[in-house]
Amino acid sequence: MATVIISQLPPPPNETGTGSSKGTDLFPATDITNTSTSPTGQTNKYTLAEIFNWMLTAQGLVTYNACQVATTSSLSANYSNGSSGVGATLTNNGTLAPLAIDGVTLQAGARVLVWQQSSEPDNGIYFVTNNGSASTAWVLTRATDYNTPAQIIQNGVVLVNQGLTYSGILFQETGAGPFIIGTTNIIFSEYAVGSEEGAINTVDADSGSIVANSGVITISGGSTGLTTSGSSSTMDLVGTLAISNGGTSQTSVTVVPAASSWSGWDTHKNFSSNNVLEGYTTTTTAASTTTLTVSSTYNQFFTGSTTQSLVMPVTSTLVDGFPFYIVNNSSGNVTVKSSGGNTIQVMAAGTTAYLTCIAVTGTTAASWNCEYAFNGGEGSGTVNSGTSGDLAYYSTTGTAVSALTTGTGVITALGVNVGTAGSFVVEGGALGAPSSGNLVNCTGLTNAQLPQANYALSSSSGNFTTTSATFAAVTNLSVTLTTAGRPVMITLVPDGTSNVSVLGCSSGTGVVVTYGIFNGVTNIGQGSFGTTGTTVASYAPGSSCAAIDTSVAGTYTWTFQVLIAGGNTANVQYFKLLAWEI
């Protein structure tokens, strides 16, 4: 950046005299009588552009005539390069309207600094040849002092006079030549006028005056409370910036909560406060859909008497760990869904859900973690009296069961399939969905009242006989059972009639009966019995007449089979086959 040393500037043009400042001046100045070039009595005035050009030219910089405005973004326009830049134009290709730039509506002949085009060779100094209308496109043409390669000088400076953003700003062309207009990038950036040490004493923010001297550099004329002190090549800010001026009025970060103070993170990235007041929104359910965004409040409360759908924000707009707390105080269900329409949680009346974004990609329920809980706690009601070690329950309104206590509470009646206060339901040996029947007291229960194990029992074999020398299935001794994959014991049991249950065979020395328990066609366990001398065997089955099947979960059929050699007869009398999943 070039440095303008106020004390080393040459004197202004040799003009003296008296006059009064003009209200039309762009810079506060006093009109004077030009005694060297103008007729006697004529006065001249110096504009802001003339003063800057005088200062910058004195430093060896090339200057251009001031522009009325500078663009604030890339213009929507078609570029035509004319004849190697001469007569080159930018023509509106967007919505037809009068040309306005940086808050200024332009007229034909206005000079415009175009410096932010997406195609940088299109940048430059233009003038308005057609200011456009609702039916006519505006047209800008390259200025005649900036449309040939020789006129575009690197580090050349131009002032902008008007505009909401760039009024009074100098711009400098920083791109390097040689320039081929329409091909070489033309690059402008804001240009700052600096000062060497000791060159400026004060800058008055109200009057705009600059006083050159050596020593301390002070900024005055405002209410910031800041001063700058200069020595050698450094400049230090002194003081604090008031909150009203965009500062904090603080000199250090406070990590311990203190009233009316700014807080900051400690060395472990922890933030301390007595409380953080999070925003909340209350929605009355109306069988409609509420859609959250990254700007939605943390607390979402639902009231009313019907259902509602709640769609979570698109996760790509969030960060990991982004939370929402949802409370359903309505009497209907609130269905929480991902942005892709997948159900995350159906919230019953009186429940809460704490949702945390755990993936910033994807639109399914997998992008969210949901902690779901009931609001009601343990309910209310009266606990019946009882003896130590009994289970206490509520006998009136409120169906929740209290904690196990000592000396209070006894189950006096469990109504099954009733659903009133103080009721339990029993299904398959566990608390679950209602079933039929009543369980009265906890003593004197019959087998029929207890939950049943998974088993299957065949019909009776009757008085079965066979002379087969190969395995023959005994009549009726076949059972089928669907298992959960636990071991299954298969064994003979008496048929429960008054008849004696025995296994037997005809007389004769060394007669042997072989039996087997089959899973389908697979023999999973077998044994044998026979006669001694001429005694007829009569065998009451025990552990040797059983087998354990360890097959995986599935549905299986087991059979009991026997064989006998030598034309003898085997007997299986009054048994049933039992399969029981352990």
Domains 280-374 and 455-581 share a fold: yes
pLDDT tens track for 476-535? 999 999 999 999 999 988 888 888 888 877 666 677 888 899 999 999 988 887 765 433
pLDDT tens track for 301-315? 999 999 999 999 999
Q: Are 31 and 19 in contact (CB under 8 A)?
A: yes
Mean per-residue pLDDT of the chain = 76
The pLDDT of residue 255 is: 77
- In this structure, is the dihedral angle defined by the CA atoms of residues 545, 548, 551 and 557, taken in order, positive or negative? positive
The pLDDT of residue 496 is: 87
The pLDDT of residue 453 is: 74
Q: Is the pLDDT of residue 61 over 70?
A: yes
Q: Is the pLDDT of residue 397 over 90?
A: no
| AA letter at 493 | V
pLDDT tens track for 232-247? 444 556 677 777 777 7
Q: Is the pLDDT of residue 389 over 90?
A: no
As assigned by CATH, the class of the 280-374 domain is mainly beta
Range scoring the smallest mean pLDDT among 274-283, 301-310, 541-550: 541-550
pLDDT tens track for 329-346? 999 999 999 999 999 999
pLDDT tens track for 401-432? 444 444 343 444 443 344 445 545 443 444 44
Structure tokens at 544: 């040797």
pLDDT tens track for 6-57? 444 444 444 444 444 333 333 344 444 444 444 444 445 555 556 666 666 6
pLDDT bin (cut points 50, 70, 90) of residue 549 is very high
Distance CA 351, CA 314 (A): 24
Q: For residue 567, is it left (φ>0), alpha (ψ between -120 and 50) or beta?
A: left
| C-alpha closest to that of 469 among 510, 502, 513, 509 | 513
Of 582 and 352, more confident = 352
Q: Are 177 and 192 in contact (CB under 8 A)?
A: no
CATH number assigned to the domain covering 455-581: 2.60.120.760
Count of CB atoms situated within 10 Å of the CB of 103: 12
Q: Where are the domains of the chain?
A: 65-191, 280-374, 377-443, 455-581
Range scoring the smallest mean pLDDT among 87-101, 311-325, 538-552: 538-552
pLDDT tens track for 88-108? 999 999 999 999 999 999 999
The pLDDT of residue 168 is: 87
The pLDDT of residue 275 is: 85
Range scoring the smallest mean pLDDT among 12-21, 183-192, 317-326: 12-21
Kindly compute the dihedral angle of the four CA atoms of residues 409, 415, 417, 420, in this order, to the nearest 10 degrees. -60
The pLDDT of residue 294 is: 94
**Separation in Å, CA 181 to CA 62, 141, 188:** 19, 13, 15
